Structure 1
Amino acid sequence: MDSEIKQFSALLLFGNIENLILAAQGVDAHVDPVGLAALSLTAVFCWFLIGTFGTRIAMKYARYINFIGGFAIFVLGLQAMMESIPGILAFLH
């Protein structure tokens, strides 16, 4: 794998985990799955375009991008867990 792209492999992996978390939140909120899929595909396509054309510029900031992306994923994961606690506690009682 090219060393320039290798820097972003962790962000790619955790970005996929983030998509799973967001999809689970959409299911829990009873969002229309077709609409959610359309919005997800639109977001992926937009990120693909940004990634394709913005990679050269972003290489200078790879460390910052990885940190911010990882932090956002961490916060979204915490949010998902915090929102599920009442349901878990209700299930246990």
Structure 2
Amino acid sequence: MIGELKPFIILLVFGNIENLILAAQGVAAHVDPFGLACLSLIAVLFWLFVGTFGTKMALKYARYINFIGGFAIFVLGLQAMLESIPGILSFF
């Protein structure tokens, strides 16, 4: 089974980074931590079910999934950096 999941290792690593980026964006936007935690838990459970039942079907699309996941992380990181520029400039 580990061999079957090997194409998704990079997505798992970057998925954790994406969670950190989203959490940082929530803190910067002063979002209610309890609400954010509840929504995050719902999203994690949703992806658990998708991963459990959709892995066999998704294996043939592993390259596309990795690219889309990596691109989403890149866009979210870029968005977080661009939104933080005014705060950085006001510091000086």
TM-score scaled by length of structure 2: 0.96
Match of 2:59 in 1: 59
Match of 1:44 in 2: 44
| Structure 1 gap ranges (5+) | none
Query: Can you list the C-alpha shifts for 1:20-66, whole angstroms capped at 9, x where unaligned?
Result: 11111111111110010000000000000001000000001000000
Moved over 3 A (4+): none
How many pairs were matched up? 92
Distance in 2 (alpha carbons) for counterparts of 1:2 and 1:40: 26
CA drift of 1:2 comes to: 1.9
Give me the identity figure in percent: 76
TM-score scaled by length of structure 1: 0.95
Distance in 1 (alpha carbons) for counterparts of 2:17 and 2:54: 23
1:87 counterpart letter in structure 2: G
For the residue of structure 1 that corresponds to 2:31, the secondary structure is: coil
